[in-house]
Amino acid sequence: MNKTQSVESFYDELSNQYTELIRKCVPRYEEIFYNLFHYIPSGLKPRNILDLGCGTGNLTAAALQYYPTAQIHALDISGDILDECRQRFAGISNIHYHQQDFNQLDFKDESSFDLVISSIAIHHIVDADKAALYIKLHGLLKPGGIFVFADQTSGMNDEIYQKHIARWKQEAFKLGSTQENWDMWMLHQTAHDYHSPTVWHLDQLRHTGFAAVDVIWKNIMWSVIMSVK
């Protein structure tokens, strides 16, 4: 990638290798998904789910396992990665695809979703846009609905953030990442990533009006945050 490449074209270019590369990059990737779904109240029987930044559909596949009869809306800015996702779930009629930007979500009806999920995607927009997104999602959720997402977060100060990055590098190499893979992710991080502290997300979500918010799981710089409308 080059430094001025957009996030959309970065993921367009990576789309056919993404499913393999991400598992070499993110420590305890499957555990993140397990925890994201594990703490959703068992009484919630979601009929409509929105997956923000679905990529090739790794989280979408987990959602389908947990909620096989729900209507799952997979959304991503990258057309090519969305095509990979579409091919992966070919023949499955309850997954719907939306090429949209988080900053311009186009769902007209308020209270459309019982559950909004996302993994490792929201950090691609700046804090002011995250705050606007949370307001939009609060409106799109039904009363009692859940917004649960996993994301890369920074730390309470820069020293801790840098220590997180150093630990991430060690773990990524243990998972099989090469120096070339790491350099590619770091270039992407410099160009497109806006990591915020976990408590920043909690404050924003509370401020937005969610009734309850918490960090339900954390490892190094990956946090799973749940909010109840």
Choose between 60 and 208: whose C-beta lies nearer to ligand SAM: 60
Question: Please, what is the angle between helix 158-174 and helix 179-192, to 10°?
Answer: 150
* Pick from 207, 209, 203: nearest CA to 225: 203
Interface with ligand SAM (CB under 6 A): 7, 11, 22, 53-55, 58-59, 76-78, 81, 101-103, 119-121, 124-125
Supply the minimum distance, in Å, between the C-beta of residue 30 and ligand SAM: 11
Quick one: tokens of 50? 């929105």
Choose between 157 and 190: whose C-beta lies nearer to ligand SAM: 190
Choose between 165 and 206: whose C-beta lies nearer to ligand SAM: 165
Supply the minimum distance, in Å, between the C-beta of residue 6 and ligand SAM: 9
Question: Please, what is the angle between helix 7-14 and helix 179-192, to 10°?
Answer: 150
Supply the minimum distance, in Å, between the C-beta of residue 18 and ligand SAM: 7
Supply the minimum distance, in Å, between the C-beta of residue 197 and ligand SAM: 19
Residue 98: helix, strand or coil by DSSP? Answer: strand
Which position's Cβ is nearest ligand SAM? 55
Place of tokens 């609905």: 145
Choose between 45 and 127: whose C-beta lies nearer to ligand SAM: 127
CA atoms within 13 A on the CB side of 176: 5
Supply the minimum distance, in Å, between the C-beta of residue 211 and ligand SAM: 26
Place of tokens 């959309």: 8
Choose between 76 and 114: whose C-beta lies nearer to ligand SAM: 76
Q: What's the rounded Cα separation, in Å, for the pair 7 and 192?
A: 6
